[in-house]
Amino acid sequence: MKAGIVIFPGSNCDHDAYHLSKNILNWDTCLIWHKETSFNPPDLLILPGGFSYGDYLRSGAMASKSPVMGAVIDFAKKGGYIIGICNGFQVLTESGILEGALIKNKNLRFLHQDVYLRCENHSTVFTEKIPPGKQLKLKIAHGDGNYIADSDTLKKLEAECRVAFKYASPDGNLNEKYNPNGSIMSIAGILSSNKRVLGMMPHPERCVEELLGSTDGKLIFEGFIQ
């Protein structure tokens, strides 16, 4: 299993992702600088969290125009597997690989807290190892995680089972109380139409060891292990 992690100026979860991939999952892992215009296609490409370009203009906006993004878009078009976490999700929406946008949290605050995610589609490589009925306990750490899309896009996402995760209570109920950032329909993560690109605001890579308070994040990557 080979993983590639793209580093933008201002990425700060790149080494968390590297630790997960290299040390926890024992994958062959390479780091890809944003100025590269090509890379050897990995089995999974990770766009990590952080504050690329200082979140100036819009979160992920300038990273989405980085030299490496031409190759990333091409990789997605050819059916490559990509996970974009937090700022990586913002880069995926800004580059048009995934629909919708992420705007400022409804309460205008930077949120750093535990959340529970209800899995909405168990038949993808990212979600097949999540036991039915289990809510993932993961961490969020973002200021711009409020997912928004127009009603046609939302209908399409629902109809094609492309909502991967929703913020929920520990026992899986949807309620605005458990929707920390005001995301429409409590959406925490979505999939591309071929289900090979996942964008999500919570950080699975921060929940991969008991020491970190949860190992639920590993489940999202275990589907790749043959």
Task: Give yes or no for residue 108 binding other proteins (CB under 8 A).
Answer: yes
Q: Determine the interface stretch with other proteins among 13-21, 145-153, 170-178, 198-206 (rule: CB under 8 A).
A: 145-153
Near other proteins by CB under 8 A: residue from 19, 104, 134, 156: 104
Task: Give yes or no for residue 94 binding other proteins (CB under 8 A).
Answer: yes
Measured from the CB atom, the residue of 65 and 77 that comes closer to other proteins is 65
Measured from the CB atom, the residue of 93 and 135 that comes closer to other proteins is 93
Q: Note every long-range contact of 174-179, with CB atoms under 8 Å and residues 24 or more positions apart, other chains counting.
A: 174/118, 178/115, 178/116
CB of 107 to other proteins, least distance (A): 8
Task: Give yes or no for residue 62 binding other proteins (CB under 8 A).
Answer: yes
Q: Determine the interface stretch with other proteins among 6-14, 33-41, 98-106, 110-118 (rule: CB under 8 A).
A: 98-106
Near other proteins by CB under 8 A: residue from 58, 122, 129, 156: 58
Residues at the contact surface with other proteins, assessed by CB under 8 A = 57-58, 61-62, 65, 93-94, 99-101, 103-108, 146, 148-150, 182
Give the residue numbers annotated as catalytic, written as ranges: 86, 203, 205
